Amino acid sequence: MLTNFIAVQHLHEENFKLSQSSCDKDVILNILSVLTDLLSLGTGRRIHYVVSKGGSEALLQALATAARTEPPDHGTLLPLLRLLARVGQRDRKFGLKVQKAEATDIILSLARRHLGHHLHLTHCLWVLRVCASNVTTGAMLGINGAMELLFKVITPYSKRHVRTVRAAIGALAALLKSKSNSRRAVNRGYLGELLRLYQDWHRNDVSNNYIYIRRGLLLCLKYITNIQLGRETFLGSRGMEILFTSVQDCLSCKNLDPIITTATHILRKCYPKEHLPVVTVRSSYSFPLPGNANAEPLCEGSEGDSESEGEEETEKDWDNEDVESKEEDCDLETDVNKLRSRPVLDRPEQELEKYEALCAELSQNFQELEFESEEKKSLEDRTENLPSAPSHFIPSATSVKYPNCRWRNQSVTEMGPDPGEQDFKVPFQSWRKKEECIWDKNDEKRDIAEEAQNKDFCEEEDPSRSHVSAFCPLPKDAAWYKKMFYPHCEASINASPEGRLESSDIVRNLLEKHHIPFHSPCFYAARAKCVKSIPGYRELAFPDFWGHQPPPSSKPVLERKHGVQRDRVLDDVRRLIQPGDVIGRTVFDLDDPSSGSSPAAPGCLTFFSKFESGNLRKAIQVREFEYDLMMNADVNSSQHHQWFYFEVRDMKSAVPYRFNIINCEKFNSQFNYGMQLVMYSVREALQGRPRWIRAGQDICYYKNHYRCSAAAGGGVRGRFYYTLTFSIKFPHKDDVCYLAYHYPYTYSTMMSHLDILEQNRNPKKVYWRQQTLCQTLGGNPCPLLTITAMPESENRHDLEQFCSRPYVFLTARVHPGESNSSWVMKGTLEFLVSSDPIAELLRKCFIFKIVPMLNPDGVINGNLRCSLSGDDLNRQWLTPSSQLHPTIYHAKGLLYYLRSIGRAPLVFCDYHGHSQKKNVFLYGCSIKETLWQAGCMVDTAVVTEDVGYRTLPKILDKVAPAFVMNSCSFLVEKSRASTARVVVWKEMGVLRSYTMESTYCSCSHGLYRGLQLGTQELEEMGSKFCLGLLILHLKSLPCSKELMAQAALLLDLEEEITDRAQRISVFLIPDCPPTWEICWQWQKLISCPHLCCSCATLRQVVCSHPPSIFQDCLWILALTRDLKSFLSF
Ligand SMILES: [Zn+2]
């Protein structure tokens, strides 16, 4: 306090004295020395104080005075300059103040006069540097010859007067931040000079004593290359080679990190920009749309226009989430009227009547249909002439002796003719998917006949193969499954009867032993046969066919190695500098089927992805163990790359292969925060470990040198591309592996899952109805499910109860790349039809309307975001087109219908995946929260709002380990006005209308903190969502006595509860007291009004709530076993 006070006093005094400008020298010197002492101590607060009191102006004025005296008074000048440098650094407006005081010339001429006097010169340079921090002042200094002056100081290379050189380089770097200075510097040839100088320092500074000078020079280069001219000159001056070579010398030394990082940054920025190595960035697949609708304008434009990316190339760091949140704020809807208005119907009212057929449960005549027989059931709902009628379609266990599905057999036409395979062209074609969907015994015969012609061509390599029993465990090489799945490869070998029997036996054998809950390879293959895809898929990906069983434990997020991104970028630059080992061979190309047709070069991987959800477009072998990969754009689009799914084979084991996916688009990715991709090994699967696992090392995600011009991209602006890079060591030699962005979940997976659920449900208890909401553009049925409990009995009361259950409307997978949402939905569905007592109770509470996949075509064709129309379907809810967006049009129609009969759903939730965030969370809609967040005045008297939208997420936060309330948001953004959540909230008046977002990566809180989510955790989220709905129901609605009694009864079955608690982990708190005991204590509580102190809080709750709520409390309490968290509800 005291020192501050003194400082102020002195400052004022000084101001006064300086303004007299005739004061005696000793006084000024004294003041300067006191100020110097004061400001050299303590924190920046003192300097800020001085600045706020006009210190900078006073010092500048003093400088002008001192400089005017002849000869210059160095005794005053030096401390003055020191103070100015110090204060100027902290004064944001210093540059402006310098201009105002017209001090630029003074400083420059002072510096010029002292060129021969290094101590004085250094002081001038310090001030020059702070002056240049303001771009305008910097430009002015540049015009007045500051750079020429500085160059005189820093060249030629010399270790004399290092301090001065350092100050000069610092000032030069500051000046080069101005574009006009950079341009001037390039034109005067300074860039080459800087490079040479940097080389000299690098070469001579063997013991790394002058890192700051070397880094300073790099900073000069970094700023100068911010302009296009700078980058071009840099390339022309062999800048890439020079920096790259120098960095190689630095890599082994850890304290050279600042140099390596800056040099890498420059290298990355200056790497010559290119277009992606594809003919066009538009999708390889196009789909003719009904009517004259055009998805995206088809303008290729002239390639090579890179000016659209602008002069300046600023590299933002990848973790700037602030920017995002600020943008979000501007996006908020602040018009109260818009928030409150309910738009008119988007279609004629009479059109809604047709949706009555999709709500048969409301007019169900149970007297006739009572506990329907399966035969009856199969007759109804199947009138749409779909190829999916289960009674005809699903192969029964007895009819399937031999699966006629083929996963991934290379077709002759696809891979180009191979002379050795000619003979097999005809029989092979018979394997292709035919239009018919009925399980065809002829196929089986044909296959067996075909097998007869195939003989194991690797028999010599594996003598054990003649014994069927020897196939489990697998032989060491790939021979046998090559034979099984690639019979055409064995063309050169004559048929033998043993071979045939053997193969079919192996498959049968394997299938018999193979069991994954809720999955059947036969069902999958049967469903996949009927799928209509644009490329006309004939192959199945093995993982989808064979199934996935989650690994026993989840994997922690990957720890990021130091400098991994830097190393990868340098490796990319090496292609340019040392192209000796660059192969550059296209090994897979969707656009050119002839590529990769010849047998793969030895040591080269084979790629494939022409199967459901696959989307590899091109693979280029860069170096022996490195591949550049490109994903296909969404159909009828030229963008949306993030999702990937492909097959790779012919690998060596124990060698790290590097893969670069070079056409990613998002500016950042969870791959930079420990997320791994997933891998499935066929060998592992056949050895009893059929699973996707998190895989990949050295993962990072960064902006690369590929660009897309505005014209080619069909957008307004040009685009940047990003590289996702990872290394994989495959577990086995010559394995067949699949790599994907996230756990794949195809349309056929979903359809066969529904088949299995329907078969496995208890028809006496579970009301299950699968209808077709509509056909998609691509001609695939979009299923709609109705799930509830069968009525208790035929009596009127029970039937009424059945019909009056509130609706819950759930949808998922509108965005095809968000396969996590399908796994969550899988969990929801399995729980809903299960015999779990909670599920039974839940079914009695609600009628569930579920559209498990809103965008089947997108999923099938490997899209990331859009449907076949090239539209993001979750931006079409305001005015969906019946032609272009049928699934949205009809889902909305059904919701309209429910609203029109007064049965709008209690809860609507659309399941999604979020690629940038962690945790599982909900987006909801609240007028008040939106207005508050936007900083609007809210008249609470006018805007009334039920806060019920918060209850469900709060409950989920308690019951679902992956769910985090803090990640939820209830803001209504303008850009989201046409999403399901906002439209259903506004137009259907559904208070609890949500988007549920699930991370691809991990959780930041709770039980799964730091663990990468697997399918098990995602499925669990789906079941917990159901539990949340039940608690919501018991909490917020008047419940019948029977229901409460049932709930109580449920809890009474203590053993079963404990069991269930373990199974679905209702709310796991170790060592908590038995459930019923708490309830019992609570009961005692009501009857006894005189309670001890510790129970005061409980009493408060009991006394302030009506008995019905208390009953709910009791139930929840028992269910969640967590008194404390319940009270904070
Ligand atoms: Zn989404």
* The domain boundary residue, chosen from 705, 740, 775: 740
pLDDT score of 328: 56
Give the Å distance between the CA of 982 and the centre of ligand 1. 14
Q: Regarding predicted confidence, which is higher, 688 or 465?
A: 688
The number of residues in the chain equals 1129
Query: What gap in Å lies between CA 72 and CA 619, rounded to an integer?
Result: 70
Establish if 862 belongs to a structural domain.
yes
Give the Å distance between the CA of 895 and the centre of ligand 1. 20
Give the Å distance between the CA of 914 and the centre of ligand 1. 7
Give the Å distance between the CA of 871 and the centre of ligand 1. 13
- 962 and 999 share one domain: yes
| Percent of the chain whose predicted confidence (pLDDT) is above 70 | 71
Establish if 395 belongs to a structural domain.
no
Establish if 493 belongs to a structural domain.
yes
DSSP string covering 87-132: HHHH-TTHHHHHHHTTHHHHHHHHHHHTTT-HHHHHHHHHHHHHHH
CATH number of the domain residue 875 falls in: 3.40.630.10
Amino acid (one-letter) located at 858:
G
pLDDT score of 366: 58
Query: What gap in Å lies between CA 1024 and CA 922, rounded to an integer?
Result: 14
Establish if 66 belongs to a structural domain.
yes
- 788 and 860 share one domain: yes
Give the Å distance between the CA of 789 and the centre of ligand 1. 31
Expressed as residue numbers, the domain containing 1095 is 1068-1128
Supply φ then ψ for residue 691, to 5 degrees. Answer: -155, 150
Give the Å distance between the CA of 146 and the centre of ligand 1. 54
Query: What gap in Å lies between CA 698 and CA 361, rounded to an integer?
Result: 54
pLDDT score of 572: 94
Q: Regarding predicted confidence, which is higher, 888 or 708?
A: 888
Give the Å distance between the CA of 1111 and the centre of ligand 1. 38
DSSP string covering 541-595: -HHHHH-----SSPPBPPPPPTTHHHHHHHHHHHHHH-GGG---EEEEETT-TTT
- 721 and 767 share one domain: no
* The domain boundary residue, chosen from 689, 711, 740: 740
- 638 and 524 share one domain: no
Using pLDDT thresholds of 50, 70 and 90, give the confidence band for residue 44.
confident
Taking only the tens place, the pLDDT of each residue in 822-859 is: 999 999 999 999 998 889 989 999 999 999 999 999 99
- Region 484-497: mean pLDDT is 40
What is the side-by-side strand order in the sheet with 907-914? 766-775, 781-789, 847-851, 807-812, 907-914, 992-999, 920-923
Give the Å distance between the CA of 915 and the centre of ligand 1. 9
Give the Å distance between the CA of 814 and the centre of ligand 1. 7
Distinct helix (H) and strand (E) counts, the chain = 49, 19
Q: Is 374 tagged catalytic? A: no
Taking only the tens place, the pLDDT of each residue in 749-767 is: 999 999 999 999 999 999 9
Give the Å distance between the CA of 709 and the centre of ligand 1. 27
- Region 92-103: mean pLDDT is 86
Helix (H) or strand (E) holding 727: strand 719-729
Give the Å distance between the CA of 648 and the centre of ligand 1. 28
- 866 and 725 share one domain: no
pLDDT score of 464: 30
Token couple for 1047:
């709930």
pLDDT score of 263: 95
- 776 and 708 share one domain: no
Give the Å distance between the CA of 913 and the centre of ligand 1. 5
* Res. 1093: pLDDT tops 70: no
| Percent of the chain whose predicted confidence (pLDDT) is above 90 | 45
Give the Å distance between the CA of 874 and the centre of ligand 1. 8
pLDDT score of 929: 84
Out of 451, 818, 997, 1020, the active site residue is 997
Q: Regarding predicted confidence, which is higher, 478 or 1031?
A: 1031
Give the Å distance between the CA of 818 and the centre of ligand 1. 6
Taking only the tens place, the pLDDT of each residue in 434-463 is: 333 333 334 433 343 333 334 333 333 333
Taking only the tens place, the pLDDT of each residue in 395-411 is: 333 333 333 334 443 33
- 796 and 690 share one domain: no
* Res. 483: pLDDT tops 50: no
Give the Å distance between the CA of 912 and the centre of ligand 1. 4
Q: Who's near 57: CB < 8 A, 6+ residues apart?
A: 97, 100, 101
Query: What gap in Å lies between CA 607 and CA 661, rounded to an integer?
Result: 14
Establish if 868 belongs to a structural domain.
yes
Query: What gap in Å lies between CA 57 and CA 50, rounded to an integer?
Result: 10
Mean pLDDT computed over every residue of the chain: 77
Using pLDDT thresholds of 50, 70 and 90, give the confidence band for residue 202.
very high
- 995 and 887 share one domain: yes
pLDDT score of 896: 94
- Region 1050-1063: mean pLDDT is 37
* The domain boundary residue, chosen from 492, 516, 532: 532
Taking only the tens place, the pLDDT of each residue in 937-976 is: 766 666 777 888 988 999 899 888 999 999 999 999 988 9
Establish if 1096 belongs to a structural domain.
yes
CA–CA distances in Å: residue 979 to residues 171, 324, 934 = 52, 19, 20
pLDDT score of 23: 56
Highest mean pLDDT among 76-85, 860-869, 949-958, 1042-1051: 860-869
Which pTM was predicted?
0.77
DSSP string covering 909-965: EEEEEESS--SEEEE---HHHHHHHTT----TTT----GGGGHHHHHHHHH-TTB-G
* Cβ contact 264:696 at 8 Å: no
- Mean pLDDT lowest among 66-75, 104-113, 737-746, 797-806: 66-75
Taking only the tens place, the pLDDT of each residue in 175-192 is: 999 999 999 999 999 999
What total of structural domains would you count in the chain? Answer: 5
- 663 and 611 share one domain: yes
pLDDT score of 940: 63
Query: What gap in Å lies between CA 81 and CA 122, rounded to an integer?
Result: 10
- 620 and 728 share one domain: yes
Establish if 358 belongs to a structural domain.
no
Establish if 998 belongs to a structural domain.
yes
Q: Residue 1112: helix, strand or coil by DSSP?
A: helix
- 849 and 971 share one domain: yes
Give the Å distance between the CA of 815 and the centre of ligand 1. 5
pLDDT score of 340: 81
**772 strand-pairing partners:** 783
Give the Å distance between the CA of 923 and the centre of ligand 1. 12
- 835 and 944 share one domain: yes
CB atoms within 5 A of ion ligand 1 belong to: 815, 818, 912
* Res. 1064: pLDDT tops 60: no
Q: Residue 163: helix, strand or coil by DSSP?
A: helix
Using pLDDT thresholds of 50, 70 and 90, give the confidence band for residue 7.
low
